[in-house]
Amino acid sequence: MANRWKNDLKDCDVTPEAAFLNRRQLMAGAAAGIGLAGIGSTARAETLEPNDWEDITSYNNYYEFGTGKDDPARYAHTLVTKPWTVKIDGMVDHPGDYAFDDIMAMMTVEERLYRFRCVEAWSMVVPWNGFELADLLAMAGVQSGAKYIAFETANRPDEMPGVRYPVLDWPYVEGLRIDEAMHPLTIMATGIYGKDIPNQNGAPLRLVVPWKYGFKSIKSIVRITATDKQPPTSWNKANASEYGFYSNVNPKVDHRRWSQATERRIGGGLFTKRQDTLMFNGYANEVAGIYAGMDLRKNF
C-alpha cells in the first residue's frame, strides 16, 4: 500500500502487537509510574519484549464492556460488527446510512505508523491500517459552513454490558474541529498489524488522531455529524477540568492528578526508563500551525 504521508518512525519503533493489545504489565505499576512522572526523563528504549497471548486477549480499556481491565476481552465478543452501518448527517450534501463494506470499497486504505499517547502517561507505536477521514468527509460532501465533526459510538445494552451503568453519559461521543478532521494525519482505522481491529479495540471502525491523547480516538463509530457548533465530548462532560475539548498532547499541561512531562513506553516492563513527552506527540511540524495564536494551556 502506498502512503501519502511520510513519517520519522522505523519498524524497530513499533510497539509489539502483544504489548499494544494488552496493558496489564503497565497498569499494574501505574501508581508507581504516576509517582515518578515528575522525575527527569531518560533515553527511549529501542526494543520491547512482547506479552504472551493471554495478556493480549485479557486486558484492555473499553468502558462499554465494563470498567474492569479484563472486561472487554470477556464481553466484547458480544458486539455484532457485521453488518455495520455508519450514519453520516448534519451539514453534508449526501447524508445517509452507509454500510461499512460500501465505505471500504470507496476508500484508499494505507498503513500508518503512528505514536500513540494515552492521557494516563503511557505510550506506544502502532501500525494502523485505515483511510484518511478527509476522504470520507469529501465523499459525504461536507458543506462550507461546517466547523466541527462529531462522532458517536454504538450504544447497545444487549451487546455492551457496561452501558447499563452510568459510568459515563452514554453513548460515548467525541468531536474535532473541521481543520483537525480534514488533516491528512487523521485517519479512520480499520486494522492493526495488518489484521482487523479486535472488538475490544474498537472494531470495525475507529478514529485515530495521533497528536491528541488516546481517548479522542473514539471506537466503534456509528455516527458522524458535520455541524457549525462545538459538539459535546464524553470525558469533557464527565470532568471538564481534567479533559479539555482539544486534548492535544502537551508536556507543559499536567493532568490535575499527574504530570504529562514524561511517559512510559509499553512493552518494556515495570522498570522501563521514562522518556520525554513530545509536544503534539511528536507531530508539531505537521499540526502546530493550525493552533497558531491559541493559548494551548487554556485550550487544553
Binding site listing for Mo-molybdopterin: 60, 63-64, 118, 153, 201, 206, 217-219
Report DSSP state, residue 139: H
269: left (phi over 0), alpha (psi -120 to 50) or beta: left
Quick one: how far is CA 232 from the chain centroid? 17
Pull the grid cell for residue 206.
475507529
Tell me whether the omega of the peptide bond preceding residue 16 falls within 30 degrees of 0, making it cis.
no
- Please give the span between the terminal C-alpha atoms of the chain, in angstroms, as a whole number: 35
Q: What angle do CA 21, 248, 175 make, to 5 degrees?
A: 80
Name which of 5, 45, 49, 21 is nearest 267 in CA terms.
49
Q: Calculate the alpha carbon distances from 30 to 35, 115, 255 in Å.
A: 9, 20, 15
Q: Which helix (H) or strand (E) holds 89?
A: strand 85-90
- Site of grid cell 464492556: 65
Q: Which helix (H) or strand (E) holds 206?
A: strand 206-208
Neighbours of 16 (CB within 10 A): 19
Report DSSP state, residue 197: P
Q: What is d(CA 127, CA 142) in angstroms, rounded to the nearest whole number?
A: 28
Contact 110, 1 (CB under 8 A): yes
Annotated binding site: 60, 63-64, 118, 153, 201, 206, 217-219
Pull the grid cell for residue 164.
447499563
